[in-house]
Structure 1
C-alpha cells in the first residue's frame, strides 16, 4: 500500500487544476463587482451631496428673499421717527405724508407708544404697470419704547404739515417729607 499512496492519481490533479481554473474567473468577476459597487456607491454619494447642496441653496435663497422683503417693508412702511426727552416730558415726531389725522390712531401705556396709520390705496389705471413702488399703502404699526415712564392721562398730539407731534408727560414725582422721630 505504501506504493499506492505515492502513485499518481490524474483525477485528483485534474480536480485541482479545474478548481484553480474555475476560481480565476470568479476572482475577476468579484473584482469587477467591487469596482461596479464602488462606482455605484460613489455616484450615490455624489447624488446625495448634490441634493443636499441644492436643498441648502434653495433654503438660503428663500431666507434671503424673506430677509429682503422684511428690510424692504421696514424701509418703506414705517414713518421716520424722532424721540426727544426732557425732565418733564418725552417728545415724539413722525413724518406721515398722504394721510389725514383721522387715519392715525395713537395708543399709550406706561412705557411705550403705539401709532397705527392707514395709508390710502392709490388707484392707478389698469394700463399702467408698477415698475417701482416705495410709497406706503395699507396699515402700518409703529411701537416706540419710551425712555421713561409716562402719565397716560397727560398726552397731547397734533398733526400739522404732515408731521405728527406727540408730547407725553412724565408723572409728577410725589415727594413726601418724612418726619424724623
Structure 2
C-alpha cells in the first residue's frame, strides 16, 4: 500500500492516471484494426481476442512500471482498465483481460490483484449487458460526473433513468470496495493508493 502525504500528491497522481489513460487511448486509436474491432457492436470470438490483444499489453506494462518503482504508481490502471474491458468487450473479455493485466502483480505476491481485476471486468461486462441501448456506453467518460444534476432531474421529473450513470456509480463503488478490501486484508496482497493521511 502506497501512502500519499498531501492532497497535492493525490491530485497529481490522479491527473497522471488520466494522462496515462489518454496516452494509451491515443496510441490505440491510431490503428485502423483496433478502431474496427472497437466499434463493432456484436463481436465474434476472433474479434474479442483482438480486443484483448490490443488492450491488455499497455495495461500490463503500466502494472509492471508500478512494480519497478513506487514513483510510477500512477501507471497502474489494472482496476480501471479491467472495468473498461468489460464495459467494451462484455462478460468474457472483461474477466479474461483483468486476469491477464494483473498477472505481473500476482507474481509479485499481490494475491488479490487477479480476483479483484477479474471481478472488475465481470462487473463491467454485466453493466454492458444491462444497458438496453449500447450507444449509451459511449456517453461514459472522465467527465460524466458533471451530468449528475441533469440525471437526477430527469429521474425525478420524467422518471427516466440515465444509463450513463450506471457505469459511473459502479466504478465509484468498485473503488470503495477495493480500498475496503485492502484495509480488511494484508496491504501487501493488493495495491491501492492510500489516502488516509491526505484528509487529516
The TM-score bracket by the shorter chain reads under 0.3
Instruction: Give the structure-2-normalised TM-score.
Output: 0.21
Which has the larger Rg? 1
Higher relative contact order (CA 8 A, sep 6+): 2
Instruction: Give the structure-1-normalised TM-score.
Output: 0.22
Whose helix proportion is higher, 1 or 2? Answer: 2
